[in-house]
Chain A
Amino acid sequence: MAKSIDVSDLHIYYGDFLAVEGVNLTVKSRSVTAFIGPSGCGKSTMLRSLNRMHEVIPGARVEGKIVVDGQSLYDPSVDPVAVRRQIGMVFQRPNPFPTMSIYDNVLAGSRLNARRLKRSEADAIVESSLRRANLWSEVKDRLGRPGMGLSGGQQQRLCIARAIAVEPEVLLMDEPCSALDPISTSAIEDLIHELKTEYTIVIVTHNMQQAARVSDDTAFFNLKAAGQPGRLVEFNPTRKMFSTPDEPSTEAYISGRFG
């Protein structure tokens, strides 16, 4: 069920602009992999290339190879729509559907997957997803209200609920906690712990403690210099990364002397 992801020699472009260069890494199945690095180094870009969301930007393309459980992701025979149904994503900025109710937002993905849902099934999915995203108690009395009526942090948790409602095999999270208070953050971290027993998770974060707390492996990205493409500086088990990193720049970044 859970999938591993092999990235080899990946270059990611926006038109002619090379944003990320020469990435090689392996995301293990049933584990949490954290992407860290300074702003603008290409973490979001890298993440989006893992579920083929990168290519929805006009002119954006990738070179190189990503293999998910033996299947090449960018093979011409692979349907990006099918990929995205299996690899869910939470965006850096909350994006609930503005005209849909909270209830319908959570079910948006399940309804796409074509199966007709019974009312009781739908209710169960909504409740369990919202509970796991630590939002249930705040919204259970107003499920019919628009999702846009929530606070920014609540919207983000709604988006997390929407992403996990379809039980994706891989979950990509782009700074999911950047707008959340410590309580919700900790709830999301608990969720990540719980999910990783079944799913593969990749998370982008600017919070070193969070990376240390939740992840098994950490990838540190950096720009070689201003105006240069981002690249993967170091990829190691999180424990090693936060105690004895191979690269001096990793240590500088993690200890806050840099970036």
Chain B
Amino acid sequence: MTTTASSERTERRLEVRPSRRGDRAFARLVGAAALTILFTLVAVFVFLAVQGWAGMTSGSATYAPFTSFVGYIWPLIVSTLLASAIALVVAVPFSVGVALFISHYAPRPFAAALAYVIDLLAAVPSVVFGLWGGRYLATYLQPAHMWLHDHLGFLPIFGEPSPNGRSLFTAGIVLAIMIMPIMTAISREVFMQTPRLHEEAALALGATRWEMVRYAVLPHARSGMVSGMMLGLGRALGETMAVAMVLATTPTVTLDVIGTASPATIAANIALNYKEATPERQSLLIATGLVLFVVTFLVNFAARWVAGRSARRLGS
């Protein structure tokens, strides 16, 4: 009796083999997909490094009005980081708030409509945002420039305000509007996936809705929110047209984000100069692309590290 049962069991296990083969095939397939991504990344990096090397080491005339590669790239890096920082500072609270409103506060039909409209925003091409930002939004933001200068002028980033509102600050706001939809969509998605069990645990203790959000929703959503911010940040760092069209770029060194004269961001600088560049200037631009690549990586790592730190502190 027992022997037949066990031999039947072995037989059945043998029959299961083919599906395991399918399992292995699938594992290979997804592994290959992952490798392809890695390979692409490495290929881009190698291209940038090889082609850009000349750009980092050519004669000082190439870097006019500066004299060295570091002198040339430095203001661009600062601009890139400043514009992205402005975009994040504005977009993160806004998108988290809107996402929470959609997932936990708004009545259902309204929430669905709002979510749809925000997803539509993500589909607007960046040139359109650039046009709108430079022609229209800038004038409306001019008073904000004045206000920042009057009240926070002691900070070096709020120097002489731009008279027409076209500044790195406005570019940052346009970037914020551009990255808001993707950040909202991702936050909303993770907020909605909060386990009911944990929401009810908070509610049963007598939590108000906001307390429930703090106890159950935000801790659950944390890593997803960070991912969303990383995607938004990546887009802000690499965005070209919106910045190129809002900003009258000047090759100077300044921290002032509300003035008329600001250097372009790295990406905008490439877009603005690629057409009329000499071969030396071309490889210089590629070298700046390499720097952008590295900056993006570093910023991503730094942000993940900061976000993961407090989680690790609890875990250990």
What is the interface of chain A, defined by CB distance below 8 A to chain B?
51, 53, 56, 81-86, 88-89, 91, 93, 95-101, 108-109, 112-113, 144, 146, 159, 162-163, 166
For B165-207 the 0/1 string (1 means CB < 8 A from A) is 0000000000000000000000000000000011111111111
Task: Assess the B204–A84 pair: CB atoms within 8 A.
Answer: yes
Task: Assess the A95–B201 pair: CB atoms within 8 A.
Answer: yes
Q: Which residues of B contact A83 (CB under 8 A)?
A: 206
Task: Assess the A99–B207 pair: CB atoms within 8 A.
Answer: no
Shortest beta-carbon distance from A89 to chain B in Å: 4
A99-B314, A112-B211 known; A81 vs B198 contact (CB < 8 Å) = no
Shortest beta-carbon distance from A142 to chain B in Å: 12
What is the interface of chain B, defined by CB distance below 8 A to chain A?
197-208, 211, 215-216, 219-220, 222, 311, 314-315
Task: Assess the A112–B197 pair: CB atoms within 8 A.
Answer: no
Q: Which residues of A contact B205 (CB under 8 A)?
A: 84-85, 88, 108-109, 112, 162-163, 166
Task: Assess the B200–A98 pair: CB atoms within 8 A.
Answer: no
Q: Which residues of A contact B207 (CB under 8 A)?
A: 81, 112
Q: Which residues of A contact B211 (CB under 8 A)?
A: 112
Bound-state Cα–Cα, A146 to B314, Å = 7
Task: Assess the A93–B197 pair: CB atoms within 8 A.
Answer: yes
Q: Which residues of A contact B201 (CB under 8 A)?
A: 91, 95-97, 159
Q: Which residues of B contact A89 (CB under 8 A)?
A: 204
Bound-state Cα–Cα, A96 to B208, Å = 18
A109-B205, A112-B205, A166-B205 known; A99 vs B200 contact (CB < 8 Å) = no
Q: Which residues of A contact B216 (CB under 8 A)?
A: 97
Task: Assess the B219–A97 pair: CB atoms within 8 A.
Answer: yes
Shortest beta-carbon distance from B183 to chain A in Å: 21
Shortest beta-carbon distance from B94 to chain A in Å: 24
Shortest beta-carbon distance from A7 to chain B in Å: 19
Bound-state Cα–Cα, A15 to B258, Å = 55
